[in-house]
A = this chain, B = another copy of it.
């Protein structure tokens, strides 16, 4: 049995047809926060990401991490009996979420137009590469394509490097997050209006939104933003620097911090130096300033350098690798961003925590990721089917 959620979203019922990453990331957030997410998977095959690495004892930890706290039922939406059961589920639900290519749900007869007749309160959320309308709506959309067309690649990387993707599936993640905001807003709106609505989020729009003021630079100045490595356009030294055993970030956002930094590294002579007298000057002469800072950092370890600068009240931080983060006493432990979860058949497994810290109804991991169709029986019984009907549906491969 599922433990009842005491989370913020307790009582919110979500029927989740989404696969792989953007949709499942959205519903992971909502499930962590207490929503009851019923994941609808294809009989025998399930979410494609069940086959995605990394594997532990033959099971996909990619799938497990993203689908904790959810229930899984199998349902063939191409079969009329499957469609009928799906609509029964929708009658009792608050939200349907899907990330098929636009038009697929309509073709299956379970698009928003059909479902709102079944339940006018339903919120129908869709994530796709390009959105539900517009000339490119039918184009295939993946994270790679969202990053390519949303502009983030064109501004990530080095002056001499090709356009560079962000090392995670940031388009999928951003779209999942915007979709969560849209769903929760539609739930709030429904309180007054009594009716649901559709939520349409695309990977490309999401990435473009996330680059925010970089686009304004072009819209205002007409200069196309390029790739400038780790520095930021308008402030310096606010960058990463080479230390003897890695890289450190130093963020000097104003002139008084610059003076403090010069004192800290015993270079008071620079305080009066024309070439770095103001932020504007330091931005102009960023190559010169970078050399000065690295002259100091390169002879120190990352730990020595950033600890010393923090002591001197100069903003600084190590550039951490994944192994360092998952062992970090603040991030992994105090903030509980790495958690242990008991996954049946696999034992204790480390998964990623939730970054939204609510004090009264905290996000939590209540149940492991489901095996394929693990909850088909209990959910169909809830819909009023008896065991012989369920068995019959199973034999007919409807579930």
Residues of chain A at the chain B interface (Cβ within 8 Å): 7-12, 21, 25, 29, 33-34, 52-56, 61-62, 65-66, 130-136, 139-140, 142, 144-145, 147-158, 161-170, 173-175, 177-182, 184-189, 191-193, 195, 197-202, 204-206, 208-221, 224-225, 227-230, 232-234, 238-240, 242, 247-249, 251, 253, 310, 315-323, 325-326, 329-331, 334-335, 337-338, 349-361
Query: 24 A-B residue contacts at CB 8 Å?
Result: A9-B185, A9-B188, A132-B357, A140-B315, A148-B249, A148-B320, A151-B321, A151-B322, A151-B325, A154-B321, A155-B322, A162-B229, A170-B210, A182-B356, A184-B184, A193-B360, A195-B360, A199-B358, A200-B359, A204-B330, A205-B331, A215-B326, A217-B322, A224-B323
Interface centre among A232, A316, A330 (most CB of B within 10 A): A330
Q: Which residues of B contact A180 (CB under 8 A)?
A: 181
Contact between B208 and A325 (Cβ–Cβ < 8 Å)? yes
Complex CA gap A354/B153 in Å reads 20
Contact between A224 and B62 (Cβ–Cβ < 8 Å)? no
A165's closest neighbor in chain B, by CB? B230
Contact between A233 and B354 (Cβ–Cβ < 8 Å)? no
Contact between A154 and B209 (Cβ–Cβ < 8 Å)? no
Complex CA gap A330/B164 in Å reads 23
Complex CA gap A332/B35 in Å reads 34
Q: Which residues of B contact A167 (CB under 8 A)?
A: 152, 154-157, 211, 214, 225, 227-228
Q: Which residues of B contact A155 (CB under 8 A)?
A: 167-168, 322
Give the distance to chain B from A242, nearest Cβ to Cβ, in Å.
8
Contact between B216 and A54 (Cβ–Cβ < 8 Å)? yes
Give the distance to chain B from A279, nearest Cβ to Cβ, in Å.
11
Q: Which residues of B contact A242 (CB under 8 A)?
A: 162
Contact between A220 and B355 (Cβ–Cβ < 8 Å)? no
Contact between B52 and A224 (Cβ–Cβ < 8 Å)? no
Complex CA gap A390/B198 in Å reads 45
Q: Which residues of B contact A326 (CB under 8 A)?
A: 215, 218-219
| The residue from B34, B200, B317 contacting A139, defined by CB atoms under 8 A apart | B317
Copies of this polypeptide in the complex: 2
Complex CA gap A202/B325 in Å reads 15
- Known pairs A142-B315, A170-B170 / 6 extra A-B pairs, C-beta < 8 Å: A8-B185, A135-B329, A162-B247, A178-B356, A187-B188, A217-B322
Contact between B219 and A144 (Cβ–Cβ < 8 Å)? no
Q: Which residues of B contact A12 (CB under 8 A)?
A: 188
Contact between A208 and B331 (Cβ–Cβ < 8 Å)? yes
| The residue from B33, B61, B179, B182 contacting A185, defined by CB atoms under 8 A apart | B33
Q: Which residues of B contact A198 (CB under 8 A)?
A: 357-359
Q: Which residues of B contact A148 (CB under 8 A)?
A: 240, 247-249, 317-320
A195's closest neighbor in chain B, by CB? B360
Given contacts A131-B335, A167-B157, contact A145 B315 (CB under 8 A): yes
Complex CA gap A251/B158 in Å reads 24
Give the distance to chain B from A32, nearest Cβ to Cβ, in Å.
10
Q: Which residues of B contact A352 (CB under 8 A)?
A: 208-209, 212, 215-216
| The residue from B29, B154, B219, B318 contacting A319, defined by CB atoms under 8 A apart | B154
Interface centre among A34, A145, A349 (most CB of B within 10 A): A145
Give the distance to chain B from A337, nearest Cβ to Cβ, in Å.
5
Q: Which residues of B contact A163 (CB under 8 A)?
A: 230, 240, 247, 319
